[in-house]
Structure 1
Amino acid sequence: MEIKVVEMNEEKQDSYKVRTAVFVDEQNVPPEHELDEHDEGAIHLVGYENDTPVAASRVRFLNDYGKLERICVLKEHRGKHFGVEMIEKMEDVIQRAGYSKAKLNAQDHAIAFYERLNYRPVSDVFMDAGIPHVTMIKEL
């Protein structure tokens, strides 16, 4: 998979298509909750396999950390380690911006995935868009 930091509107639209397919169509997140006011100021990433967008995410910088958000891989492309590749690229973006901490809100079913990447839970379970989440952090 080739991961691009979004520079052109077409790439941003590709990231939105992947996010919509995963979060809105598959997980029933309301569209107005998925594409939100934070998209404008975020750094977007999109992963391509054979020029087809298959993964997406965004990074925002808050306080003293980079926040990994909206990490997703199309259902038919899961199991190929694209999620790991996306996280590694996001962490690189965060470090290049001068930050040494990463934070994310993991869906409860993905906690073990993030723990394998050295993220640790720092919150109790909370609901976001009707889905249980846990906040996790990692020192980079």
Structure 2
Amino acid sequence: MRYKVNIVRWQQAERQLKSVREKVFCCERRIPYDIEFDQQDRKAHHVLVVDEETQEPIATGRITNSGEISRIAVVISQRKSPVGKEVIQALLKIARKNQLNEVYINSDLDAVSYFASHNFRPVGAVFMEAGIPRQRMSCPLREVDFKRFYLSH
């Protein structure tokens, strides 16, 4: 499959971004719609991956100006492809372009060791987000090392 990785603004690609996130987070993970789509969407930088043949959106992710990486979603049929890694790489490229020193992710507790193995470190106490216990994980941008992706709300 051939696909195109695009850096987009919410205002130009809202329908496509919502399509992927609704499938992955609202339907599969049962995250309420009003929690999934928040005020950060309008301010964040988004990555949208589109199947070049069908023009269907297949993956997305976002990064805020403060360095929070979130809403990484890949449709189920593409999870074994390298598209998730492409989303992460594009988000890190945005972070570098914006001269961020550090990025962070609010990790599910079962993924803390995954992020720790990629040079992320826990910051603060466990907290609840969308009814899910989370741990903030932070990493200096120069130390980020992702070999694969993890779906991240």
TM-score by length of 2: 0.78
Distance 1:105 1:55 in 2: 19
1:84 matched to 2:85 = yes
> Which structure 1 segments of 5+ residues have no match?
none
The SS at the match of 2:42 is: coil
Change (3 A) 1:54 1:88: same
Change (3 A) 1:49 1:107: farther
Q: CA deviation at 1:90?
A: 0.5
Corresponding residue of 1:31: 33
After superposition, what is the alpha-carbon deviation per residue over 1:82-129, rounded to whole angstroms, capped at 9, x for unaligned? 222211110110110111210111123333443343322224432211
Q: State which drifts further: 106-115 or 52-61.
A: 106-115
The SS at the match of 2:81 is: coil
Corresponding residue of 2:44: 42
1:22 counterpart (13, 21, 24): 24
Q: CA deviation at 1:9?
A: 4.7
TM-score by length of 1: 0.85
The SS at the match of 1:40 is: helix
After superposition, what is the alpha-carbon deviation per residue over 1:15-73, rounded to whole angstroms, capped at 9, x for unaligned? 111111111111111101111112111111111233321111111112xxx11111111
Change (3 A) 1:138 1:75: same
Distance 2:56 2:119 in 1: 30
Distance 1:127 1:98 in 2: 30
1:55 matched to 2:56 = no
Corresponding residue of 1:108: 109
Distance 1:103 1:139 in 2: 9
Q: How many residues align?
A: 137
Distance 1:34 1:123 in 2: 23
Does structure 1 conserve the Cα–Cα contact (< 8 Å) formed by 2:9 and 2:42? no
Corresponding residue of 1:121: 122
Q: CA deviation at 1:7?
A: 4.6
Corresponding residue of 1:132: 133
> Which structure 2 segments of 5+ residues have no match?
142-153
